[in-house]
Structure 1
Amino acid sequence: MDFEDAMANLPSHTNIFVNDYNQLDDADIIISAVGHIKLIGGDHPNRFGELNPTGESVTDVANKIKQTNFHGIMVVISNPNDVMTSMYQQILGFPKERVIGTGTLLDSARMKRAVGKAFSVDPRSVSGYNLGEHGNSQFTAWSTVKVIDQPIEKLAKESGLNLEKINEDVRMGGFTVFDGKGYTNYGVSTAAVRLSLAILNDARIELPVSNYREEYGVYLSYPAIVGRDGILKQLQLDLPQEELDKLQYSADYIKKNLNK
């Protein structure tokens, strides 16, 4: 009803249906936001705190979607993101390229915000990725990060910038927001919209989203080309061994929790 109350002041009409899964038959995209965010906090915050209850909700929703004729792209923002994305793919039986998690698209944006502030530039002048789990085992792949096309590792050395502190601030960014207002919404919803528009517009743009990587045997965040049919092409970064080790650790961490 709150959405319907807004419609008279909006420039376009929107049809709103509640719990009618048959309306999904001709949908292009479904965005899954089911979750139990209150369970991620505490003294040792971790998105896996909501694994079991959110997993039950995802199982229920996925089985209902399975009974429809939906054949579009599944976009997942539910947490723990990589595990929930994998669960949707397994239950729905869709090709892996048609089930995508927002993953570290949000964390990469947080990194760009933090780096942009450190160098007093717009975050859009920062490029690079956070990789792995959308969660505690993620990391900033500093070898990929540039500020106005200058390698950040070179700039950090010249300016004395502590990259490890930025990495930690980014990794814990969601929990910082959560501690402040009890939930997160703007950052992740913007990431979901960006991913969805890339699909709807067949943008064929590279995004660090949660997609299934055969070499790791799990969904995790790694840049891929996204378009109308979902993941169109998986990219291959030239990462140093230290970052490859971090990515393997993150993949193993996701797998360990996926098998619980």
Structure 2
Amino acid sequence: MRKIGIIGLGHVGAALAYTLVTKGIADELVLIDRNDQVAHGEKLDLEDTQAGLTTHTQIIIQDYWQLRDADIVVIAAGNISIFDSGVNIQQAELRVASQIIAEAAPQIMLSGFNGILLNITNPCDVSTTYLQRLTNLPHQQVLGTGTLLDTMRMRRAIAEELSISPKDVSGYTLGAHRKAQFTAWSTITVGTQPIKHALAQHCTDLVALEKAIHDRAWQIIDGKGFSSYGIAGATITLIQAIYSDAHVTLPVSSWNTDHQLYIGQPTMIGRTGALRVVDIDLPQEEQAAFNHSASYIQQNLDLMVASSPQ
């Protein structure tokens, strides 16, 4: 029996729930939101969706106790309105995230939950670190989506530039999701060819390409007011890797022992969560960028703790 919980039914949580149901990935789905009407509406809508499917998912709402035997719980709560509020977005995001985690973590653990926690809530790496701290679950059982979506965007952009399939592009975007992420060019290959050789043949401007990769999320938000499908798809990839015990390496937010926090790094994923961090030998400038990302996360973690309601 595959049981998944989702806390937060905004654009991302709803897209994730819809995908889990239509792909038949979950046998039971527990939906929790601060707004009872939203949770009830999503339940009804998802039940209607199943009328034409060959699979069935039992939908349960607004019951933290039901998380006690869940395999995976996803934290997808947030407040997109801060982007239109005119306030300091970084401070507002930290405050909102700290409130969400401080409210949800105790209730999750009171249920007896001992599965895998997946965090989407931004700032992802900071929130994932704080979530693990409050739940005290083993590090391997707490993960953030990290730079998985950013890596997907990078591969898509390179594939588009070279007119090839994204599946032919390997490599990672690493570091702190969004603000301090970076493309680890040294890890990227097209087939067996180093990426810089492939792009040089197309006279590609690497600086412009990296900016396009980084700006992709903001283009989506500017267009539709939020982003949802990409991150929901990335989360599905992570969930399926867990359920299938895939032992696949994904650039998710996992525990870094050197920096003592969560950060986007290549991590082998299996049935019990993060099996191990996959070490890669970064050149000096990329290692410096990784260390800068860790410092950025730590600074914001300190601010999150300071703003926490606890």
Q: Secondary structure at the match of 2:259?
A: coil
Q: Secondary structure at the match of 1:16?
A: strand
Match in the other structure for 1:53: 96
Equivalent positions of 1:150-229 (< 5 A) are: 150-229=193-272
Match of 1:136 among 179, 182, 207: 179
Match in the other structure for 1:106: 149
- Are residues 1:84 and 2:154 paired? no
- Are residues 1:251 and 2:294 paired? yes
CA deviation vs aligned residue, 1:23-79 (integer Å, no higher than 9, x gap): 111111011101112324689996664111122012101111010111110011111
8 Å contact kept, 1:46–1:135: no
8 Å contact kept, 2:75–2:117: yes
Q: Secondary structure at the match of 1:172?
A: helix
Match in the other structure for 2:45: 2
Q: Which runs of 5+ in 1 are unaligned?
A: none
Provide closer, same or farther for how the CA distance between residues 220 and 233 of structure 1 changes in structure 2, counting only shifts above 3 A.
same
Q: What is the Cα deviation at residue 2 of structure 1? A: 1.7
Q: Secondary structure at the match of 1:30?
A: strand
The 10-residue stretch of structure 1 (41-50 or 5-14) with the greater mean CA deviation from structure 2: 41-50
Aligned letter for 1:79? N
Q: Indicate the percent of aligned positions where both proteins have the same amino acid.
A: 39
Q: Which runs of 5+ in 2 are unaligned?
A: 1-43, 304-310
CA deviation vs aligned residue, 1:136-194 (integer Å, no higher than 9, x gap): 11000000111122111122233211112121111221111111101111110010010
CA deviation vs aligned residue, 1:230-249 (integer Å, no higher than 9, x gap): 11111111110000011111
For residues 271 and 193 of structure 2, the distance between their equivalents in structure 1, rounded to whole angstroms, comes to 32
For residues 87 and 211 of structure 2, the distance between their equivalents in structure 1, rounded to whole angstroms, comes to 14
For residues 134 and 270 of structure 2, the distance between their equivalents in structure 1, rounded to whole angstroms, comes to 23
CA deviation vs aligned residue, 1:185-243 (integer Å, no higher than 9, x gap): 11100100100111111111100000010112221000011001111111111110000
Q: What is the Cα deviation at residue 133 of structure 1? A: 0.6
Q: Secondary structure at the match of 1:138?
A: strand
Aligned letter for 2:223? G
8 Å contact kept, 1:76–1:101: yes
8 Å contact kept, 2:162–2:202: no
* TM-score after normalising by structure 2: 0.80
* TM-score after normalising by structure 1: 0.95
Q: Secondary structure at the match of 1:159?
A: coil
Match of 2:80 among 23, 34, 37: 37
For residues 41 and 184 of structure 1, the distance between their equivalents in structure 2, rounded to whole angstroms, comes to 14
